[in-house]
Structure 1
């Protein structure tokens, strides 16, 4: 029986009452602070001031805990709007915002199918907004938006982590590596890349995300209006 359907153990009088919700909240707090490496049943139990064995019955494995954590964050991903385009844009935006609040989500999103109630509710909202559109279009359209968001979010979070690790922001990085690129481009071996770096648009993270999403949504719109 999946964790979503398995009843919790009966309440026991104890100085530290437990529930799956409390366990998941503690795990998310650890992951938000120090990443997924900080999450284990032992560390979660310590954060709750209970012994690790107390967690069993509520959660059998770390994989179940990770599934519960992802589904809990999906409560923050609530697609809204009128019409398929607004709802798909809302799906993309709220997913990105959730990943920016919980960077560890970028390491888990897009993994095995998520079947928790919050995830299913979000999927229901998206599909309901696309009612009337042929399912042969709906399924790949939603998959395309999800694929774009997953890739964009993972790249953005990876860049944020690299920036923190290096101690350099984008401007400092450009100062450090700009001369190397100028010397390389001066050889004439990479004219297309040189043109992009020198003359192309330099978008910030928000603009990059919105522009790429517009390309995806425009393509879906062209298919729907055929």
Structure 2
């Protein structure tokens, strides 16, 4: 039985329900990451005894599942996607924006399928936009491919944001600080391809990099998803 199937305990003098528990857990995670979340800390924020939470949530993993599903409500498209490309693009971009609001989400992406009502609604909205384009196995591989792309890209972007906070150096500051070392290494002539990338490559921000990579993935999937005429 999943946490969504299990009934909640009856009300007590101090109001408590899964919605309040999840909201408190998300607030803690937004402030300090997943390591800041525990049933004890959530209970303290709600001014409730820790043991009371076990009537609503059995494990920390269940709490994480509920937190992820709550954020999936932010990922769910507001309107039915117009076509398959819009559906997969919206899934990627909306997930990235949600992860920038809730950085801890990056740590929970890419695991088992989300089985909460919002996660299932996102999956339904995405798959229904791809219905009829190809056999279901091809459709599933297409969704998994896009998911693998944005999960990796989001984790990399989040890791860079965390590194900036940990070091106190912005991306530009880090590049300036590392520049002399990199210049010396490239001057040895042992890294010609890297030297060309550093000297001649265009520096773009994370959002543009994400969008460009996503477009390339969708371009490649187009050949697989559009059925040839009978």
Quote the offset at 1:75 in angstroms: 0.6
SS at match of 2:124: helix
Q: What pairs up with 1:1-226 in 2 under 5 angstroms?
A: 1-12=1-12, 14=13, 16-79=14-77, 80-134=80-134, 135-225=136-226, 226=228
Quote the offset at 1:25 in angstroms: 0.3
Q: Deviations over 1:123-155 (max 9, x none)?
A: 000000011111232111000000001000000
Q: Flag structure 2 segments of 5+ consecutive residues without an equivalent.
A: none
Quote the offset at 1:173 in angstroms: 1.1
SS at match of 2:74: coil
Structure 1 Cα separation of the partners of residues 44 and 17 of structure 2: 15
The answer to whether the 8 Å contact 2:68/2:105 transfers is yes
Structure 2 Cα separation of the partners of residues 224 and 113 of structure 1: 22
Number of residue-to-residue matches in the alignment: 224
Q: Deviations over 1:148-181 (max 9, x none)?
A: 0100000000000001111111221121111111
Quote the offset at 1:112 in angstroms: 2.3
Q: Deviations over 1:46-75 (max 9, x none)?
A: 000010011111111111111101111111
Q: Flag structure 1 segments of 5+ consecutive residues without an equivalent.
A: none
